[in-house]
Structure 1
């Protein structure tokens, strides 16, 4: 896979991970509302950093088990693609059937930018679904990434897309000051999980093409 294609795939994967508006996304919006873009941006950077770290861990795990996985033929890619489709489908279902997002969570208020960064890094780190997402994705696309350069470009794309998205949530929080409706939050989550489904289908297609 060419470096620019790998970068594009990473950008797409990063958006697919970040776009579904869950608890962390809501907290980022609230941070922007409460503290403004400049003060809340370290929280967004923390989330993107952990996303990149989980992506790197998934790559490392993939390299460690590569000889075993190679002996399984197309099954790992097929299973990884199915997992992504399942995760995306469940997310779309929940987004369309949830009556409302939780409104009783208080805005996180750590003191200082460093404290805010550490807090959101910890909140993101305790969610193992991020690692599972990348393991499933890389199981499907791993052979297409090819060289170390391609893999590095993929990780960079994930980090950049996640950072831009999280910063966008903080900016929206500052800009709209709570005028984001529940319906809009549902639509955003549906779009994000739909992208996860697309990634899963693409992983299935990639495996079947070999």
Structure 2
């Protein structure tokens, strides 16, 4: 398989992993609408980085790391559920940047990146999803380090491309809605994230 074809397949895999709308997607959409394209995109890069990390584990067969994550899956998901619940509450009670007089127009991009990165990492089953999709696309284990990095770069690029497109669309929408609508969006997103967190925790019982 040529390097270009391998990169293209990995890019498609990155989009396929990132595209399904879940708590991470809801959170990034809300941040884009409330704080702008830059914050939404950087938050999305947190998810792309976590996807690339799990893609690296899957394609290189790092059994020690994947084994640890899967063996401690319960507690990782408990932490993730609680973290998501806190994010839901914070999102519900947050004020859009347009309503904040005398404050910066964006939330901290670093906090946005880290929160989404950590939230995405709380789903170790992503490793199994990558292994399954790699099998469908016939992306075998790498023969060398450079091939592995090509796969990881492709996955990251595909995921980042998805979040960039989402940020562009979200930014276009946010420029056409008022502060009151943004506040309602924050509350709706907070409720959805809270529901996700409750379902996430119930699923562990």
TM-score, structure 1 length as denominator?
0.57
Matched residues in 2 for 1:148 and 1:8: separation?
18
Matched residues in 2 for 1:165 and 1:55: separation?
16
Matched residues in 2 for 1:29 and 1:50: separation?
18
**Residue equivalent to 2:159:** 162
Is the 8 Å Cα contact of residues 6 and 151 (structure 1) preserved in structure 2? Answer: no
How far residue 171 of structure 1 moved from its aligned partner, in angstroms, is: 2.3
1:115 aligns with 2:118: no
Say how many residue pairs are matched: 139
Is the 8 Å Cα contact of residues 44 and 163 (structure 2) preserved in structure 1? Answer: yes
Is the 8 Å Cα contact of residues 55 and 131 (structure 1) preserved in structure 2? Answer: yes
How far residue 173 of structure 1 moved from its aligned partner, in angstroms, is: 1.7
**Residue equivalent to 2:51:** 51
Secondary structure of the residue that 2:61 maps to in structure 1? helix
**Residue equivalent to 1:189:** none
How far residue 139 of structure 1 moved from its aligned partner, in angstroms, is: 4.7
**Residue equivalent to 1:150:** 147
How far residue 17 of structure 1 moved from its aligned partner, in angstroms, is: 0.7
1:127 aligns with 2:123: yes
For structure 1, the residue ranges without an aligned partner over 5 or more in a row are 65-104, 180-210
For structure 2, the residue ranges without an aligned partner over 5 or more in a row are 65-87, 95-105, 182-205
TM-score, structure 2 length as denominator?
0.59
Q: Aligned ranges for residues 1-210 of structure 1 at < 5 Å?
A: 1-61=1-61, 105=88, 107=91, 112-139=108-135, 141-143=138-140, 146-177=143-174
Is the 8 Å Cα contact of residues 55 and 134 (structure 1) preserved in structure 2? Answer: yes
CA spacing shift, 1:6–1:23, aligned 2, 3 Å: same
- RMSD between aligned residues: 2.7
Structure with bigger RCO (C-alpha 8 Å, 6+ apart) = 1
